[in-house]
Structure 1
């Protein structure tokens, strides 16, 4: 598929750099002059502190990817059981009690929530992953709940209840399996949102050191020398964009393939 191939092309290089870059970055060499163009010893030039840009690129992807993936997993670990519980409770007051607090959080932009909490706690990468994951819970829970309500009203769910099946088996064995495409699509959306939110937070200096080897930090700190040494800004910015776009295309292609397979099986 065209989207799958394009997504794979876009995502391979950023992922390889994020996963393998720190292993091949080597020891830091002597620092040069700030914002020098590519040359001997620094083929992508130097950054705002005179460090080798290529080495910073090799080191800067792991934090972005790990924090975004961790945040996405955490968001679903919280949102999915909460949404399933609300969909299967059968009691309107309990469903309201579970979901209504999420409306308050939805009213607050995720980035603003992260920034407000971060000003008080000054989180590191782990804290940033928790903040981003929690900020994604309300939207994820709403999407999963909407799909789970329809799945929970199917006759097979009522039959399982009459047979005395446990809540966990009904929720995760039947309802969650029925809405697995929705879960997969939402996971892709949350991952992309987490990537952008993590990158934006790092760009603003939240959760990372001001001189950390991080793609988003590189974009921010090297902006003053954009016209002297563009590679220090352009390369990490393109890597973040390629990672986000490639992830989106891969999830879209996977959903399209799953839907096509389902239609063929039904026929």
Structure 2
């Protein structure tokens, strides 16, 4: 008896516990490629980041300069490759700090409850009421725009959202019978959070991490576009768009390709996240 393609796919899904989705795989490969570019930038980039290689500004795409040149005659490909280190690196560091801190506080508040939960929730609600871009502009303008300050600022802005998301999930898990039994056994707070609450919310939390990574990339690009992000001669992708905006009227590659880089990374993360719940639903249906 032969299996049809859908039936064969279901069998594979049941055997390995997940379906391989072509869109998700392509998105993952794009993300992996940008991560590799960020790590290997000094090896991949054909020219130093600030070297002027062409006397013609906003040069066209050519064999010597595959992505053209910018407003000073610098190689756009090299600038984008080095810019990946700042865009991916700063965003990854910021989302890690924000989500680790937010999730830890959210789970703790849900388990402890009482005044601790109420005070922490009201504090983060107040911070959430401030628009992200305004808060980022105020903090960066007041303190400075060094890379550590950018990371801490972006993390600080997205901790409240991560906290609220993790707390809402943890409150539901905390009401489960197995958590009540663990509490009746006299388990400590650390055990309840680590062994009982975290496994129950890990999947949605990982999806939330991906979404916040996208938000941070876009906010970092906005700050750089306004001149408050990574400072020259270094530049992230948002700064590349800003410094070459004069070439927008005649569609200079120096404006187009950094924008494409931002779009490819953020869209790929979104597509990868969109496919995670689909695999979970497929597994539930097969069961």
TM-score (norm 2): 0.85
Corresponding residue for residue 111 of structure 2: 88
Rounded Cα–Cα distance in structure 2 between residues aligned with 1:43 and 1:193: 30
Structure 1, unmatched stretches of 5+, are none
**In the alignment, is residue 17 of structure 1 matched against residue 37 of structure 2?**
yes
Corresponding position of 1:7: 27
How far, CA to CA, are the matches of 1:141 and 1:236 in structure 2?
A: 32
1:36–1:229 contact (8 Å) kept in structure 2: no
Aligned residues: 264
Corresponding residue for 1:34?
57
1:152 pairs, out of 174, 177, 190, with 174
Unaligned ranges ≥5, structure 2: 1-20
Deviation of the 1:112 alpha carbon = 1.1
Q: What is the rounded CA distance, in whole Å, between the counterparts of 1:37 and 1:196 in structure 2?
A: 27
User: What is the match of residue 165 of structure 1?
Assistant: 187
Cα displacement (A) at 1:158: 1.0
Structure 1 ranges of 4+ moved more than 4 A: none
Cα distance between partner residues in 1 of 2:45 and 2:168: 46
- Which secondary structure does the structure 2 equivalent of 1:226 belong to? helix
How large is the RMSD of aligned CA atoms in angstroms? 1.9
1:213 and 2:241 correspond: no
Question: Paired residue for 2:74?
Answer: 51
Moved more, 27-36 or 179-188: 27-36
Structure 1 residue 90: deviation in Å? 3.7
Partner in structure 1 of residue 132 of structure 2: 110
Superposition TM-score, scaled by structure 1 size: 0.91
